[in-house]
Amino acid sequence: MDIIQTVEQALRQSGADVTSIGKSVCGNDILCAHRGDYGGKQVIITAAIHARECYTALVALRQLADFRPTRGGAYFVPLVNPDGAAFFESGNTFGHSFLSANAHMRKRWKANADGVDLNCNFDANFGSGAQQSKLAPAAHGFVGEYPLCAPESKALATFTSTVMPAATVSYHCMGGELYWQFFQDDARLARDEALAAAIARRIGVNKVDGELDSAGGYKDFCVQRLRIPAVTIELIKRGAHPFGPSDYADDIEANADLPQFILDYIYGG
């Protein structure tokens, strides 16, 4: 069973409310599951925005399976980049010419089917990131022609703006680190750092302070445009790409109850 099928089956069997927040370049649904009270505070969990990090989806699926909130709710978007994930995992190009022409690059692939790095395509200091050097579609690092030009990033930005959650979490790999900062003012800086520190302690990763070289990321968009706390969590503390499903086993366990932990924190214990 491939990663798209794994996600689809897990969501169908979860008993949660499942919908699609949009379509990918190749027409795959970007599926989302919700569990809990829609009227309370919400958390959004996203994973697999980068193709070669597609098995971060397994963390979100475990969280969904375990999540039984006493108050509030959580939305889970396990596979933001389904086209890229399938291409990385099995070489499936869905007949897309750009992917087909780059089959030799699939184990290094981070972008969507059009060669846009989705985590550089959000409207937050767009195009100014230190690692964004590609000027044309590529396996990684191309920001796109303009903010939210990719259907996947546009769908996620629209969805998040509609929900207006209390916090968001975005899973990546690797490094065992947590990023949270993006030019917050003093009041929001203290608020966001406190939540980031609590999450980092809970799951056993290093909270990175003063890192402002990123731009156009989902976390950056949430912090700058929506003014809510958001964290990017880099799973797997050491190793080298490509990683397989078993490499995430420890992180799946460490993060299993994180949505409930965040809601409890936001509600004040």
pLDDT in tens, 76-98: 999 999 999 999 999 999 999 99
Query: What is the 3-state secondary structure of 131-154?
Result: CCCECCCCCCCECCCCCCCCHHHH
pTM: predicted TM-score of the whole model, two decimal places:
0.96
| Angle, alpha carbons 164-260-81 (nearest 5°) | 55
- CB distance 161 to 136 below 8 Å: no
Tokens describing residue 212: 């402002």
pLDDT at 168: 98
Q: What is the pLDDT of residue 130?
A: 63
Question: Which tokens is 97 given?
Answer: 């010419």
**One-letter identity of residue 139:** A
Q: How many CB atoms lie within 10 A of CB 214?
A: 21
Q: Give φ, ψ of 73 to 5 degrees.
A: -160, 175
Query: Please, which residues have CB within 8 angstroms of residue 78's CB and are 6 or more apart in sequence?
Result: 7, 10, 11, 31, 33, 46, 47, 48, 57, 60, 61, 64
Q: What are the CA-CA distances from residue 266 to residues 4, 32, 191, 223, 259 (Å)? A: 32, 22, 10, 16, 11
Phi-psi region of 127 (alpha: psi -120 to 50; beta: other; left: phi over 0): left
**Bridge partner list, 17:** 34
Q: In the chain, count H helices and then E strands.
A: 9, 8
What is the mean pLDDT for each group of 10 consecutive residues in the chain (269 residues)? Answer: 94 97 98 96 98 98 95 97 98 96 96 97 86 79 96 98 98 97 94 98 97 90 98 97 97 98 92
Beta carbons of 93 and 109 less than 8 angstroms apart: no
Q: What is the pLDDT of residue 161?
A: 98
121: closest CA among 94, 152, 98, 91?
Answer: 152
Q: Which two tokens stand for residue 259?
A: 């949505």
Neighbours of 66 (CB within 10 A): 13
